[in-house]
Amino acid sequence: MIGWLAACAPAFDPDARLSVDLPTRAQVSGVPLIQQEAFFCGPTSIAMVMQWAGSDIGQADVAKLAFNPGAGGTYLADMIGSSRRLGQLAVEINTFDQLLSEIDAGHPVIVFQNLGLGVAPVWHYGVVTGYDFDADAVYLNSGQLNQMILPFATFERTWRRGDFWGLVVLPPDELPVSVGQTDILSAAAALERVAQWTGAETLYQTGAARWPGNWLWQFGLANARYGGGDLRGARQALLRARAIAPDIPEIRANLAQVESEL
C-alpha cells in the first residue's frame, strides 16, 4: 500500500517547500526501537522519546495516563496531557519547517498519520528520527523492531491525513527550536496546572536563561517554587522579576504575599 500511495506523487523539493535553510540530511541518534503492544502506538511513541532523553519509563506506564480503552487508542489531547503529567515539555508543531528543524536540532518528533485510505483509515503515531533529501527518505520509529523508511511524498500524504499534527516532547531543561517563546511559556504553565512543580521550575529557569529580559519567566518560576513549597526561592524569583519590570502590579502583589508568609 505504501508504494501505491507514492506512485504518482511528485518528489519533495526542499527549495520550494521549506522557508528555512537545512542540511540535506539529519539523524537523531539514540532513539530506541520499541515493539508496541496492541493499540499502544501513542504510549510507545512517548516512551521512545522519553527513553531517548534518559528516562526508563515503559509503554505500559505511559498507557496508564494516555490510553483510552473505549476509543481503543490515544487522543491527541491525551498525548500532550500525559507527556506533561510525566513532567515533560510538550509543544505541538504542524509544518515541515518545524518538523525538519527539530530533527536537525537533534530532537525526535512524534507525528500522527493515517497509513490507510480514506475509506479504511489506519491511524498511527510514530517518531520521526531522521530525513535525507538526496535519498528521498523520512525515517521513523513506528512501534516495530525495524525502522520505517518512507519517501517524502508518502510521508507527507500520510501526515496530511492527520492534519500535520506533530508533538515535540523534551525534558524541561532543553528547548525546542521551532516554536516561539509564548508557546513555551504556555507549556511551562501547563506543567504547573498538573502540579509538576519541579519540571515547571526547570523549564522556567531554562526559559529565563534564553530570554532574560522577559519578567514572565521569573514570575512563573516564583509560582512554580511557591507551588512546591519553596517560599524563599519564590521570593528570590519575584525580586528578579521586579528588577526587570518594576511597574507590574501582579509582581508586587505576589511578592507581598510571599513576604507575609515568610
Q: What is the pLDDT of residues 9-35, one digit of tens each?
A: 567 888 888 999 999 999 999 999 999
pLDDT tens profile 72-130? 999 999 999 999 999 999 999 999 999 999 999 999 999 999 998 766 789 999 999 99
Residue 1 confidence class, pLDDT cut points 50, 70, 90: very low
Overall CATH class of domain 196-261: mainly alpha
pLDDT of residue 3: 43
Question: Which residues, in sequence order, are bridge partners of residue 120?
Answer: 117
Residue 48 confidence class, pLDDT cut points 50, 70, 90: very high
Percent of the chain with pLDDT over 90: 91
Cell numbers for 165 = 499534527
Residue 199 has pLDDT above 70, yes or no: yes
Distances 6 to 71, 113, 146 between C-alpha atoms, Å: 30, 15, 21
Residue 54 confidence class, pLDDT cut points 50, 70, 90: very high
pTM: 0.94
The third-level CATH classification (topology) of the domain covering 2-170 is: Cathepsin B; Chain A (3.90.70)
Sequence ranges of the domains in the chain: 2-170, 196-261
Q: Do domains 2-170 and 196-261 have the same CATH topology?
A: no
pLDDT of residue 145: 92
pLDDT of residue 9: 58
